[in-house]
Copies of this chain bind each other. A is one copy, B any other.
Amino acid sequence: MKAPKKLRIALDAMGGDYAPGREIAGAVEALQASHMQFEIVLVGDEQVIRHQLALQKAEHLPFTVAHASQIITMADSPTVALKQKKDSSLAVGMHLHKEGKVDACVSAGNTGAVLSAATLILGRIKHVSRPMIGAFIPAEHGTCLLVDAGANVDCRAQHLYEFAVMGSIYVELLKNKERPSIALLNVGEERLKGTEAVLEAYKLLSSSKYNFIGNVEGSDILKSKADIVVCDGFLGNIVLKFGESVPSFLKNKLRKFSARGIINKLAVSMALWPLKVSLRDMDPNEEGGVPVLGVNGVTIIGHGNSTAKGIKNMILRAVEVAQSQVNQKIEAALAEKGF
């Protein structure tokens, strides 16, 4: 009997604010956590990577290095960078995936560039009009998948419908949730509220076979009213970033309170433990990153300032997605409804 082929994940070792140190630390953690059940291809400057592997005493682990001479930085314009830096770690990693040499390509680098690279190099899944980003937002009961979380500024009803279908399949397979609930993000629960695109998407989803529960408001996301919340990428990006800024806002408020006196300081020090535990879900490192959905492949985008744990979780999530049938199911589902 032949052993099943080990999965191979390409990691953009030069993406992220603290690359390649944290990238490689996270990759080591991922391999150790999974007992080496897959291989990692580290993409980037070979000399720098080998040096880091030596520093972290990780040369014995199942790493391959794919050399890339250039780096796309956070300040680069995504489309310009992809044209000019053909030998960037991101482009090289994505091409390895396109050529079938790896089963996924993950990066904590420039979000726009990763999204563009995935879309341009891997291409779209058949029947998908626009790839998008899904982001898990912590909610009272589990998480809520926000789609689109930032890929598409202007969206028509058809796009919103496709985001809903892709999100539903992703949550069903990756969070093991049967018939997850889908809602449109709107300014009221009434059917006749919202922009033209949202009104039209409401009709499309109502007559679909998916578990569409109607509109939800901004206050319903954290209340876990729906498993998947659908909106255009302009709104999604702003809501996502607003939410991510809450913990540091709170920290600053507590710091000010603490500065008012010794008793205040003591009270805050007592408050830190329950707060830390309660806010743990709000740490993007727990999820590891946001998947790009709708492209012919598996890509997860990590936060630029991911910790090693964040990188580890990004890699482990990519392994899960690569083992799932997400893309085949998306293609089949969107083939059914012909626009």
Contact = CB atoms under 8 A, between A and B. Distances in A.
B223 A245 contact: yes
Given A245-B218, A278-B253, A187 B267 contact: no
Given A218-B239, A240-B218, A153 B270 contact: no
Contacts of A237: 187, 217-218
A267 B257 contact: no
A38 interface: no
Contacts of A270: 267, 270-271
A339 interface: no
Contacts of A240: 218
Nearest to A252: B140
Given A242-B242, A243-B242, A274-B267, A223 B194 contact: no
Nearest to A279: B253
Interface string A254-281: 1011100000100110110111011101
> Which of under 10, 10 to 19, 20 to 34, or 35 or more describes the interface residues of A?
35 or more
Give the oligomeric copy count: 2
Contacts of A241: 217-219
A277 B257 contact: yes
Contact of A234 (B195, B257, B278): B195
A238 interface: yes
A227 B233 CA distance: 25
Interface in A221-244: 221-223, 231, 233-235, 237-244
A246 interface: yes
Given A154-B195, A257-B274, A274-B268, A222 B234 contact: no
Contact of A238 (B153, B187, B268): B187
A250 interface: yes
A233 B187 contact: yes
B150 A187 contact: yes
Nearest to A270: B270
Given A238-B239, A254-B274, A271-B270, A249 B195 contact: no
A226 to B, nearest CB: 14
A185 interface: yes
Contact of A239 (B239, B246, B254, B274): B239
8 contacts: A140-B249, A154-B195, A217-B238, A218-B240, A221-B242, A242-B243, A246-B246, A250-B279
In the A-B complex, the 9 residue pairs with the smallest Cβ-Cβ separation, listed nearest first, are A218-B241, A271-B271, A218-B238, A253-B278, A270-B270, A218-B242, A219-B245, A219-B241, A222-B249
